Chains A and B, each alone.
Chain A
Amino acid sequence: MEIRSLQTPGSLNSLKQESVRMKAASFQGGLALPVPDKFESQAITTLPAPDRVLLPLLHHPEQAYELQVKKGALIKQGQPVGEGVSSLVLAPISGKVEEINKNFKLPGGALTTAIRIAASDEEFPDEAPPAVPDSGTLQKILGTGLSELSESPVPLFEKLRSIRSKRVRTLIINCLDEFFIQGRSAALASQHTPDLLAGIDLLVQYSGAESAVITVYAESAQALQSLQESGTKCHILPVKAKHPQHAEKLLVTAVTGREYDVDLTPEDLGVSVISAETAYWVSRAVNRREAALDKLLTVAGGSLKEPRNCFVRIGTPLQEVLTHLGQDIADGDKVILGGPLSGQAVSDPDTPVTQQTHLVFIQKKTDLHVFSQDAVCFKCGLCVQICPMRLMPFLISGFSEGGLYDLAEKNSLFTCIECGCCAYVCPVNIPMVQWIQLGKSAIRAQRS
């Protein structure tokens, strides 16, 4: 057994010396992603702003927002409608506050307040360009961008503060998306390279880190090329296209070569993960005084031949996004927030795009996978071999199913990142992630 030192970020120093590691970093287990035949990703499009937006106020589980507007109020695009300790929620469009729903249910099940704004142009003849509010301090500006990769997303400003206080030396800028090699972050890296790099420089500066590493799928030739030709000082790390390489733990391991237990964070290892889109918005906010009112989305599946990357106004109902892209949905289809392997299916097609919506995957009625509810594990061991966390998925899932939560936890239930690989390979279609989630929430409920 190897005892891994968590103190010395030594491997990072050696990492800085070579500019591109020749062999793509990877991990044991996991699923190889389908590599698209052609590598030109389509240009990122911007969808028109919708007539109505729905704005749930709770993007961060820990931080409540104070409502800044009342029902019936007229507001300008970019005006704060909610304010937290270190972040703002900005109105994505100008218009009238139509409804304030105190019991809006987020896709995960949590309740929050949501504001519905209906566009009305007349009141704003001199429609101001989307601007970062003048009163906004740097703290608030950064608060509008999110770093969505941590398990419980924190406002960027908070994240930068903790990076500083924990003396993080390296920022990991993540250009990997779940499942799609030509996803939104790769498109951003190849089509908005200057903004991305400027944002990374600012983040390095604000956080007091020494350097940044950009992780890109080695198969994403365009993004790699754009980054390399830009002459950036950042280290570019190609990684093999495998699911779930985009997960924070595996990303940190790919960069540092080290692993960390559930009670540690990447910051304890001297690194921190920030998504490429966040860097992009930081540069837009600071250099062009533009607020992050749009969200960069990848839409894929259904009748779309290739994944489409587009900027969508925050608060737009998913249904509207899909209609714009010519993607119909019907009864019995699945709309998934996230990729087909670890995304979450939503019941309401009008679920709004939030800062945590990165990928929308459509599955037609005819393509649905059905789990078996009474299957018995026959110990083939396929799930053990595929698990990137090197767990015994059939054990933790079986223990959770049987209510033996202690045993599940003893077998490292909480190390599971719910990537879905185990249930993907199981020949008898056991819904393992379902049982694992049940086990985790039951244990959490017992503790609280």
Chain B
Amino acid sequence: MHSLRLVVSPHPHLHSGQSLSAMMQQIMIALLPAVIFGVYLFGFDALRVIILSMGSAVGWEYLIRKASQRPGRLTDLTALTSGLIFAMLLPASIPWWIILLGTLIMIGLGKEVFGGFGTNPFNGVLIAWVVLKMSYPDFMLDWPAIAMNADLATTPMEVFKTQGPSFVQESFSLSEMFFGFTTGPIGQGSAFCLLLGGGWLLYKRVVDWRIPLCYLAGVFVFSGLFWALQIGSGNADPLFHLFAGGTMLAAFFLATDPPSSPTTPDGMILFGLLAGVLTAIIRMWGIWPFGACYAVLIMSMFTPFLDKIAPEVYGR
């Protein structure tokens, strides 16, 4: 009888306008200072790694989705973004085939075997990083010398681990480490650039403040406690722990990976704090200098458990 055809759908009929691809865009924008600084430090080589990593991540995702006959998801930009974050962790000198292998592991093992972005229990970037670190330690530790610090081709965290904190003080000033005039992976040296990006993400509310700030607090307080009370030898300035070893990258770009981090406010706080403490523990007593990535990866195993710390339901 009525000719008008109205649209019917479940509520709500409005939306915030936030989208996954917009969030990923913001993350890439936030990494821009670190990318520019990395290219400035390591030259064209760094650019090569970044482009290869982003390009191959997209390529692998396309192929895997195609082969498994599922609709493509490239427009959500998660592959592109994780390609960029992955490149941040690599040395500029790394051979092309290792990059391709890494991104295959990142997309395949880290994401697609679990069904795609969202259902993966671990951060694919870290899975790929660990596999490469174990399989090709030499390539992964082959830091190119940089013009400002030509005679020392090791990262501050490696100096700390192999030669002790007093050598760190001799070789690097805090401001050198803060601004990132040290060698190392392409995008993790400059705490300053990463802080800029991290601040941007917090300002844009792409990332909740709880995980990054609690993570930084965890690192700072735990390492600071041992340093201030001088428990044992081999303690470094907590600021060193904040600026070196990729702490900032882990805080804002790795620990905040939504699928592998908790969803509840209290869970996020605990996750951040514990990952921070674990980072310091691995650095201080572990045999590896790269505590930040390991700590975040290990903590993401606790995510299902931390998600149980749900808010107290209304009226219960």
Chain A interface residues toward B at CB < 8 A: 1, 249, 253, 259-262, 264, 319, 329-336, 338, 340-350, 361, 363, 365, 368-369, 371, 374, 376-382, 384-385, 388-392, 394, 412, 415, 418, 420-421, 423-425, 427-429, 431, 433-434, 437
Contact = CB atoms under 8 A, between A and B. Distances in A.
B295 to A, nearest CB: 20
A324 B8 CA distance: 23
A427 B23 contact: yes
B83 to A, nearest CB: 17
B226 interface: no
20 contacts: A253-B314, A259-B315, A329-B4, A331-B5, A333-B7, A334-B6, A334-B8, A334-B9, A340-B13, A341-B12, A345-B8, A345-B9, A349-B4, A376-B115, A380-B23, A380-B258, A381-B208, A385-B208, A390-B312, A424-B15
Given A261-B316, A428-B19, 7 more contacts: A1-B312, A329-B4, A336-B13, A378-B118, A381-B208, A390-B313, A390-B314
Interface stretch (B34-42, B49-57, B192-200, B263-271): B263-271
Contacts of A262: 315
B13 A425 contact: no
A390 B314 CA distance: 6
Contacts of A431: 9-10
B11 A377 contact: no
A423 B12 CA distance: 7
B6 A347 contact: yes
Contacts of A437: 10
Contacts of A390: 310-314
Most buried by A among B6, B7, B71: B6
Given A376-B119, A424-B12, A437-B10, A381 B5 contact: no
B6 A333 contact: yes
Contacts of A249: 314-315
Contact of B117 (A329, A330, A378): A378
B258 A379 contact: yes
B263 A394 contact: yes
Contact of B6 (A346, A391, A392): A346
Interface residues of B, number: 43
Interface in B100-125: 115-119
B18 interface: yes
A249 B315 CA distance: 9
Contact of A371 (B9, B119, B259, B261): B9
B291 interface: no
Contacts of A336: 11, 13
B27 to A, nearest CB: 12
B10 A433 contact: yes
User: Counting chain B CB atoms within 10 Å of each CB, which of A253, A361, A369, A374 scores highest?
Assistant: A369
Contact of A349 (B6, B259, B307, B314): B6
A174 to B, nearest CB: 19
Interface of B: 2, 4-16, 18-20, 22-23, 71, 76, 115-119, 208, 258-259, 261-265, 268, 307, 310-316
Given A380-B258, A381-B258, A384-B264, A346 B314 contact: no
A384 B263 contact: yes
B13 A361 contact: yes
A233 to B, nearest CB: 31
Contacts of B259: 378-379
Given A368-B7, A376-B116, A260 B315 contact: yes
Nearest to A243: B12
Contact of B263 (A264, A342, A380, A420): A380
A364 to B, nearest CB: 10
Given A376-B118, A381-B268, A427 B19 contact: yes
B2 A350 contact: yes
Nearest to B16: A425
Contacts of A333: 6-7
Nearest to A347: B8
A348 B315 contact: no
B13 A369 contact: yes
Contacts of B312: 1, 390
Contacts of A342: 11-12
Nearest to B3: A331
Contact of A344 (B11, B22, B117, B313): B11
Contact of A428 (B20, B268, B314): B20
Nearest to A4: B315
B13 A376 contact: no
A349 B265 contact: no
Nearest to A425: B16
A334 B10 CA distance: 11
A377 B263 CA distance: 11
A293 to B, nearest CB: 25
